[in-house]
Amino acid sequence: MHIILVSDRLAKARSIQVSLRQVAIATAAAAVSFLMLSTLVSYLGVRHASELKLPLLQSLVRATQREDAQRTEAFLRENLNAMAVRLGEMQAQLVRLDALGERLSTAAGIRPGDFRFGEIPGRGGALATALPPHDLSLGDLGRQLDSMAQQMELRSDLLGVLDSRLLDARVRRTLTPTALPVDGAWNASSFGWRIDPITGQVALHEGIDFIAESGTPIRAAAAGVVVTAEHHPAYGRMVEIDHGGGLMTRYAHASKLLVKPGHLAKRGEVIAEVGSTGRSTGSHLHFEVRQNGVAQNPARFLIAGGGAKAAAK
C-alpha cells in the first residue's frame, strides 16, 4: 500500500509504503486502546458517579442497583419459601410426635402431663467466652433445618416401633387370663393333687375353686372366642373360651350361662353365674387354664396379673 502525502509546506510530494501487517497491527492497537479507555471511563464513571453528579451515570447506577436488589430479593424469597415449606412439615411432624408421645405415656402407665408434650422446655445458660457467638447464615440455617428434620423423622420411626411393641404387649396381656373370674378367694381347693371330695381318693385337681355364692357373676379372665357353652356331666354348665395360641380357659359348675358359642368375649365380661351343677358339693366356680390341651396352674397366671393380691383382700 502506497500513501502519497501532498502539502504546501513540502517542496515535493512524499510517498509512504505501508504493508498489510502494519495496518493490522495499527488497527488492533487502536481497538485495544479504545476498549481500555472505555473500560476506564466506565469504571471511573460508575465509581465516582455520586461525586461527579452526572445525571446519566447516576441513573445507570441506580438501575444497576435496582436489578441487584431485585435478584437478591428473589433469591431470598425463594429460599424463605422453601424453608417455610420445610418448617410446616416439621410442625406437622411435631404434632404427630406429641400425639404419639401421649399415647405411649398412657400405654406405659405414665401421665401425659408429666412430660408436658405441648410445652416448650425452658433453656438457658451463660454465653461462652472461649468462642464468641456469631449469626447464622442462610446456608447454616438451611442445614440446621435439614438436620433437625432428619432427627425428627428418625425419632418418629423409633417411637412408632415402640408403640407397635407396646400395642403387641397390650394385646397379649388382654388375651392372657390374668383377671379374676369372680370376686372371691380360691382357698377352697388349689391346683394339684388332693383328696377328691366325692370319692375320697387321691386325684389330680386340674383347676382352682373359688368360693362364691350362687348367682355371683363369672367374668372372662381374658378376651377370646367362646367355643363351648353347654352342660357337661362332670363340669355341669360350663363355658370354654379360646384365647388364641393354644390357650383356653374353662368356667364350670355355673347355674346360668349368658353367652353362646362364637361369641367374642371381652376381658372382664360377665359370661355366666356361679352355681353347683354337675359334679359338685356346693356353690363355687371351678376355673381351669389349658395350654394346647394340657392343664396349667391358673394361680400362675392370676398372680402375674395381680389377681392373687386382689383375691387375698
Q: What is the pLDDT of residue 313?
A: 39
Distance CA 255, CA 69 (A): 90
Q: Which of 225, 247, 227 is nearest to 238 (CA)?
A: 227
Residue 251, by phi and psi: left (phi above 0), alpha (psi -120 to 50) or beta?
A: beta
Query: Helices (H) and strands (E) in the chain — how many of each?
Result: 6, 13
Helices (H), the chain: 20-47, 49-52, 55-107, 138-174, 298-304, 307-312
Give this prediction's pTM: 0.53
Q: Which of 216, 280, 205, 258 is nearest to 241 (CA)?
A: 258
Q: What is the pLDDT of residue 292?
A: 92
Q: What is the pLDDT of residue 74?
A: 74
Q: What is the pLDDT of residue 4?
A: 59
Q: What is the pLDDT of residue 58?
A: 62
Contact predicate 312/302, CB 8 Å: no
Per-residue pLDDT of the chain (313 residues), as tens digits, is: 555 555 556 555 566 666 677 667 878 888 888 788 777 766 665 555 555 555 665 676 677 777 777 777 777 777 767 776 777 777 777 777 777 777 776 766 666 565 555 566 666 667 666 677 666 677 777 777 777 777 777 777 777 777 777 766 776 777 889 899 998 766 667 888 888 888 888 999 999 999 899 999 999 999 999 999 999 999 999 999 999 889 999 999 999 999 999 999 999 999 999 999 999 999 999 999 999 999 999 988 888 766 554 444 3
Q: What is the pLDDT of residue 41?
A: 64
Q: Which residues on adjacent β-strands are paired with residue 257? A: 272
Q: What is the pLDDT of residue 51?
A: 55
| Residues sharing a CB contact under 8 Å with residue 232, sequence separation 6 or more, in sequence order | 238, 252, 278
Q: Is 267 helix (H, G, I), strand (E, B) or coil?
A: coil
Q: Residue 223: what residue type?
A: A
- The CATH H-level superfamily of 192-312 is Glucose Permease (Domain IIA) (2.70.70.10)
Contact predicate 184/211, CB 8 Å: yes
| Residues sharing a CB contact under 8 Å with residue 6, sequence separation 6 or more, in sequence order | 13
- Domain residue spans of the chain: 2-47, 192-312
Q: Which of 31, 148, 163 is nearest to 83 (CA)?
A: 148
Q: What is the pLDDT of residue 60?
A: 64
Distance CA 242, CA 210 (A): 21
